[in-house]
Structures are given as structure tokens and as C-alpha cells.
Structure 1
């Protein structure tokens, strides 16, 4: 938790093992959550482990990212460590799952549109946001219809002589 103190990867690894993290035959560690699998890796600097990395595959769905932030924040609290999002550049809590999910979706859209990343292509085709809610559209249509009827009846009355 305190910046500058050595990272205790053994403590985090023990908690991850309790959460059911397992190693595949290729050596990659996987954390199975309700909404999908998360890859667990180590970040090394000058041969020293400085962090545990949680990698979520790019997609057009944000449920897994939200779950990772919430579970990761609980894990970090239990390990007396910090959960950091490098894209947002700050320490996260479970309440930050929405802002992380929004940033994740923007990244996935960019990767799908500009980089052609196959996993993220669906995110680049998200429907545009609705400009007006349906209830406002219906209200405008009704008011427009009433104005049209008023103008029509008024012009017919004038032509018929009153």
C-alpha cells in the first residue's frame, strides 16, 4: 500500500491461489471469473517482480472488466497492495469499475477500428447513441399532428366561408 515499499508477490500469489487461479500447460496462469477468464502475469523490472498483472482480452463487452476491477480491488485490499490501472494512471477501488469499463471500451473500439484487432472488431461497430429518447419522439409527433390538423381545419373553414 505504501509507495516505495517492496512488492510482496508471494502474498498476492497465495490469495490468487485461494481464488482458484491455475496454470495452463503453457505456463500461463488463468483466473476464472463469472464473466470470463483473466490472464495473470508478473511484471518484472531489473529482474525483480514489481507487480502482478491482470490481463483482460479486448472485446465489446465490459462485464468482465467490471468484475476484474471489483475482485481485484478486494484482492489488493486483502494483500495490503494497490490496484492500479496504467491507462487511467491511478489507484483503483471497486467503485471505479465504471470508469475503467468506459476506458476499456474506448480502447477496444480503437483497436478494432484502427488496428484491426480481431477480438475487438465488434466493439468498433457499436450502435450510435440515441439522440432523443422515444418518449420525446412520440410527444413531438403528437404535437406535430395536432398542429397539422389545426392548420388543415382552419384552411378548410376559410374555403367553405366560415
Structure 2
């Protein structure tokens, strides 16, 4: 696998991480170890709201896996992939990126996912305001009736 990656221009950074420069961006290439033994090569695409890089990574990764007589696996989908699966992987990638951006606060994941706050008062506040107003009117009514009865 290392020889095939070298043929495709994968560069090693000083920190030991390897970078695969594709047309749509950079993919990090790492090793997966189990009990100190290398069991797989990992491709990591940074989270974003654009799917071009992940599609290209799946297509190129599938080509690489075929050449190495290996399998390309997406752990989130839980299955082996071919170049034709780039759409399904991109859809799952986008859902993950949106979740990371909206729920986990990872701003670099999907910066556009942060919507402007809604206009006007929140519904809960409106209900509390209505209850308080109704209570005040009831107080005035009861006070007025008690005054008429007492006077």
C-alpha cells in the first residue's frame, strides 16, 4: 500500500503525518494499528459543508484498493465501498459534518449551519406573558368584586 501511495504523490510531513493531495483538497493518510501491528490504512477528510473532496477520496481510494487487492471500508456505513458509492458516503459525511457543526459546536465543520436567531419572542416567553396577563386581569376582577360586596 505504501508503494502505491508513494506513486500517487503522498507526502510525509515533519510530524509523521502523510498527506495525499487530490484535486479537491488534502486527505490525511494514517495507519490503523491493533496490538502494535498495522492492520489498515486510514483516509481522513476534514469536516466541511462541501462534498467534492470526500467524493474524490472515495473514488481514488477505491482505485487504490483495487490495485492493492484490498478493500475500501467506510466504518459509518459499515460496508465495503466501490467508486460508485461516493454519493452515499458524501451524504453520510454531510450529515456528520452538520451534526458536528450544529450540535457539537465544531465551527470548522459546517460554518454555514449556524442559522440566525429567530425573529420575535420565543413561544415559551409568549405563553408565560399571556399567563401573567391573565393572572393580573383575574386579580383585578376579584378585587373589584370584593370591593363592591364589601362596600
Q: TM-score, normalised by structure 2?
A: 0.74
Write the mapping of 1:56-135 to structure 2, written as runs, cut at 5 A.
Answer: 56-122=45-111, 124-125=113-114
Superposition CA RMSD, Å:
1.2
Distance 2:59 2:35 in 1: 30
Structure 1, unaligned runs of 5 or more: 1-11, 127-162
Q: How does 1:1-162 map to 2 (within 5 A)?
A: 12-122=1-111, 124-125=113-114
Q: Distance in 1 between matches of 2:112 and 2:42?
A: 23
Could you list the structure 1 runs, at least 4 aligned residues long, displaced by more than 2 angstroms after superposition. Answer: 121-126
Q: Matched residues in 2 for 1:58 and 1:39: separation?
A: 12
> Do the aligned partners of 1:108 and 1:123 also contact (CA within 8 Å) in 2?
no
> Compared with structure 1, are the counterparts of its residues 99 and 47 closer, same or farther at alpha carbon in structure 2 (3 Å cutoff)?
same
Deviations 1:44-75 (A, max 9, x none): 00111010000000000000000000000000
Paired residues, number: 115
Between structure 1 and structure 2, the one with the greater Rg is: 2
Deviation (angstroms), 1:96: 0.1
